[in-house]
A and B are shown apart, each in its own frame.
Chain A
Amino acid sequence: MDQTPAVIRTKGLTKDYVLGSETVHALRGVDLLVEPNEYVAIMGPSGSGKSTFMNLIGCLDTPSAGEYWLNGQPVSVLNDDELARIRNRDIGFVFQTFNLLPRATALHNVELPLIYGGVGSKERRKRAAEMLDRVGLGDRMDHRPSELSGGQRQRVAIARALINRPALLLADEPTGNLDSQTSYEIMNVLDRLHDDGQTILLVTHEHDIAERAHRSVTLRDGVISDDVRRGQPATV
C-alpha cells in the first residue's frame, strides 16, 4: 500500500438483520478496495444487499461484523456522533429523491453541511454560493426546491454533497427520478467531477448509467459476484 490511503477498504463486511425469529443475512462478508479518484458503480438486483452496503459505506449504519476503513480511518468502531462527523466531512451523499429540505432555499440547503460543521455564516454563504455557481445554479440560489426542475434539484444536492470537499461522493441511483436527457446532464456533471479528481461510488441498477464508471462491482446475495474494470482509472 502506498502513502495515500485507499478511500474505501472493507474486510469481511457483514450485516445481519433480525426480523422476528428469523435472521436475514443482508451482507455476508464483502471485501472491497477503492483507491482515490476511482469511479465505481455498484450493481445488483434488488435484495442483493446493495442498499445495506451503501448504508454501511455511507456510515449511516454500522456493520454486524467485519471492518471498514474510510480514507484510512477505522470507522467500524466509531460511535454515533463520530459517524455524524465522518458523514459531514468525508462523505457527500447524492440521493435518488434529492432529499433537499423543502422549505429552505437552494443556498441554505447547500450551506447545511457547513452549519453542522461549525463554519461561520459569512464563509458558509460564500462557499455555498461558489459551489452553486460550479454546478451552474448561480442564478437560482434563492429558489426553493419546489421552484426548481428535477435536474436542478439534483445539482443542488450535488453542490451540497461537495461543499465539504469529501473524500467520497456516494451517489445512490442519482438519475432514478430523472428523464433521460436530464440523467445525461447529471452524469456529465459526475464525469467532470471525476476528471477533477473526485472519488465516486455510484449505486445503480441501470447498465447504461453504470457504463459511465470505470469499474463495475456486482453484488449478489450479500457477496461480490463480479468486479470488472473498464478503461483506465487515473491512479492505476
Chain B
Amino acid sequence: MNIGEAIRLALMQIRTQKLKSFFSVVGVIIGVMFLITVVSVVEGMNRYIEEDFANAVFGINTLTVSRTPEIDTSSDPDQWREYRRRPRLRFEDADAIRRGLRVPAIVGVTSGSGGSLVSETAVEINNVRLVAASSEIFRIRNYEVVKGRAFTAPEDRLGVPVIVLGWDAADKLFASLDPIDRIVKANGLPFRVIGVLEKQGSLFGMSLDNYAVAPARSSMSRIVNPHGIVDNILVRVDDEADMTLAAIDIEETMRVRHRLRPAMPNDFAIDTAEGSLGFWERISRILFIAFPSLVAIALVVGGIVIMNIMLVSVTERTHEIGVRKAIGARRRDIHAQVLIESATLSGMGAMIGIGIGAGLAQLVRTLSPLPTAIAPVWMISSVVLGVGVGVIAGLYPAARAARLDPVVALRAE
C-alpha cells in the first residue's frame, strides 16, 4: 500500500471522528503553539534590540565612554563596589580624547537626570529627561530640529542658558503656542527655548520626546552633575571601519589620564551599540535553551495521549484489521497504516498549533512595539516535530495492530 493511499485513509478516519481526533492532539497543539509564539516573540525581540534599541541608546558608529558599563547584568557585589570607587569623567577627559584620536570623529559630552519643566503659563511637567550636552550632540545623535535652531559651540562654551525641547515636552508645555523665545524653568533655573526636536518615538513604551537639552556648560550642568563632571563622552567616528581604532585610542588616552599601570584593569567603560548586544544575546540564549525543554514536555505529554488514542483506535478496529489481513494486508501494511494515521493526526495538530501560535504572535505585534516574526524554518520544523511525535507515539500501537492474529481479529466484533 502506498503512502498517499494511507494518508487518504488516515484523513478519512480523522474526519469521521473530528472531536476525538482534536482532543487527542491537544498536547501537540499546545506544544507547537508555545514554540511558535515564543520563537516569534524572541526573534522579534532580537530584531527590535538589534535594529532599534541598540542604535537608539548608543547611536550609530558611536562609542560611549562612561564610568561604568551602561548595561550590566552582573550581580556581583564586589564588582559594584569597584564601580563606585572609579573616578568620574570630566570635561577635560573629552578634550584629551579629542586630541588623542587618530581617526576622523566628533566628540561630545552629555549628562542627564530626571527633572521638571515649568512654562511661563505655569504648566508643569515632571519626569522630563534633562540633559546638559555639548553642541556636537545634535550631529552625534542625528537630532533634527524642526522648529527654531540648535545651540552652537560658542553658546556651549559660554554656557548661555538656552534650551532645545523634545517634541512631547514642547507640546505639553505650550500646546498650540509657539515655544520659541519663551522661558521655561528647569528645576527652577530659567532657560530660553530656541528649538524643538523632531519626534523620536518611544522605546519599550518610554517616550524619547519627553526631553530637553541645554548646553553642557550652562546652568543645566548644575542640575545634572557636580561641577566639571560629565556622565558620558560620546565619540562618533565618520567611518564605521574606524570603530576599533577609535576604541583603542580612547582606551589609551583614558588609561594615561587615570594613571593606570599596565596590569591594572580599565576603570572606565567603552560601550558600542554592537557591544551592548552581548547582554541581549545572553538572555536570548537562555530563552532558547529553556523553552525547548518546556516545548519538549508538552510534546511528550501530547505523544503519550496520541499513543493511548491510537491504542484504543486499534482495539476498536481489531475486526477491520482482521478483514484487511484476510484479504492480503501484510504486517508492514498494517504497521504503516497505523503509523501514518498517527503521524497525520499529530502533523495536523502541529499545523493547528502553528496557526494559533502565529495568531498569538500577531496579537503581540499589535499590542506591543515588538515586531514579532516567524521564520519559515520554524514552521517547517514544527510540522516535522509534530509528525515525528506522531510516528514515535504510533510505534507501539502499530506494532500491536500488525501482530494481530487474523483468525482472532476476524472473530472480534
A92-128 vs B, Cβ < 8 Å mask (1 yes, 0 no): 0101000111010000000011011110010000000
B329 and A84 contacting across the interface, CB-CB below 8 Å: yes
- Report chain A residues within 8 Å CB of B267: none
- Report chain A residues within 8 Å CB of B5: 115, 121
Given A81-B331, A84-B325, A101-B323, A116-B1 contact (CB < 8 Å): yes
Report the bound CA distance from A9 to B319 in whole Å: 30
A80 part of interface (Cβ distance < 8 Å): yes
A113 and B327 contacting across the interface, CB-CB below 8 Å: yes
**B320 nearest in chain A by CB position:** A101
State the interface size on chain B (CB cutoff 8 A): 23
Report the bound CA distance from A88 to B406 in whole Å: 13
B185 part of interface (Cβ distance < 8 Å): no
B328 and A88 contacting across the interface, CB-CB below 8 Å: yes
Given A60-B406, A116-B333, A103-B328 contact (CB < 8 Å): no
B407 and A60 contacting across the interface, CB-CB below 8 Å: yes
B410 part of interface (Cβ distance < 8 Å): yes
B332 and A81 contacting across the interface, CB-CB below 8 Å: yes
B4-37: which have CB < 8 Å to A?
5, 12-13, 16
A160 and B410 contacting across the interface, CB-CB below 8 Å: no
- Report chain A residues within 8 Å CB of B13: 103
A182 part of interface (Cβ distance < 8 Å): no
Report the bound CA distance from A178 to B269 in whole Å: 95
Chain A contact patch, size range: 20 to 34
A87 part of interface (Cβ distance < 8 Å): yes
A62-80: which have CB < 8 Å to B?
80
- Report chain B residues within 8 Å CB of A60: 325-326, 406-407, 410
- Report chain A residues within 8 Å CB of B331: 80-81, 84
A155 part of interface (Cβ distance < 8 Å): no
A80 and B410 contacting across the interface, CB-CB below 8 Å: no
- Report chain B residues within 8 Å CB of A103: 12-13, 16
A61 part of interface (Cβ distance < 8 Å): yes
A215 part of interface (Cβ distance < 8 Å): no
Instruction: Report B308 CB to chain A, min CB distance, Å.
Output: 22
A58 part of interface (Cβ distance < 8 Å): yes
- Report chain A residues within 8 Å CB of B323: 99-101
Instruction: Report B255 CB to chain A, min CB distance, Å.
Output: 80
A140-195: which have CB < 8 Å to B?
160, 164
- Report chain A residues within 8 Å CB of B327: 87-88, 93, 112-113, 116, 160
Report the bound CA distance from A124 to B12 in whole Å: 19
Query: Which residue of B16, B322, B328 contacts A113 across the interface (Cβ within 8 Å)?
Result: B328
B300-343: which have CB < 8 Å to A?
319-320, 322-333
Instruction: Report B404 CB to chain A, min CB distance, Å.
Output: 11
Given A60-B407, A99-B410, A101-B323, A84-B328 contact (CB < 8 Å): yes
Report the bound CA distance from A26 to B323 in whole Å: 23
Instruction: Report A121 CB to chain B, min CB distance, Å.
Output: 8
- Report chain A residues within 8 Å CB of B1: 115-116, 118
- Report chain A residues within 8 Å CB of B326: 58, 60, 87, 93, 99
**B327 nearest in chain A by CB position:** A113
B324 and A112 contacting across the interface, CB-CB below 8 Å: yes
Report the bound CA distance from A84 to B404 in whole Å: 13
Instruction: Report A87 CB to chain B, min CB distance, Å.
Output: 5
A55 part of interface (Cβ distance < 8 Å): yes
- Report chain B residues within 8 Å CB of A95: 410
Query: Which residue of B324, B328, B330, B405 contacts A89 across the interface (Cβ within 8 Å)?
Result: B328
A229 part of interface (Cβ distance < 8 Å): no
Instruction: Report B290 CB to chain A, min CB distance, Å.
Output: 45
B330 and A80 contacting across the interface, CB-CB below 8 Å: yes
- Report chain B residues within 8 Å CB of A11: none
A134 part of interface (Cβ distance < 8 Å): no
Interface centre among A58, A60, A121 (most CB of B within 10 A): A60
B328 and A85 contacting across the interface, CB-CB below 8 Å: yes
- Report chain A residues within 8 Å CB of B319: 99
- Report chain B residues within 8 Å CB of A117: 328
B407 and A84 contacting across the interface, CB-CB below 8 Å: no
Instruction: Report A107 CB to chain B, min CB distance, Å.
Output: 14
* 19 intermolecular pairs with C-beta atoms under 8 Å apart: A55-B407, A60-B410, A84-B328, A84-B331, A85-B330, A87-B326, A88-B328, A93-B327, A95-B410, A99-B322, A99-B323, A99-B410, A101-B324, A112-B327, A113-B327, A115-B1, A116-B329, A117-B328, A118-B1
Instruction: Give B contacts to A, CB under 8 Å.
Output: 1, 5, 12-13, 16, 319-320, 322-333, 405-407, 410
The 3 tightest CB contacts between A and B, nearest first, are: A88-B328, A116-B328, A84-B330
Known contacts A81-B331, A84-B333, A88-B328; 16 further A-B pairs (Cβ under 8 A): A60-B326, A60-B407, A60-B410, A61-B406, A61-B407, A80-B330, A84-B325, A84-B328, A87-B327, A87-B328, A99-B323, A103-B13, A103-B16, A116-B327, A116-B330, A117-B328
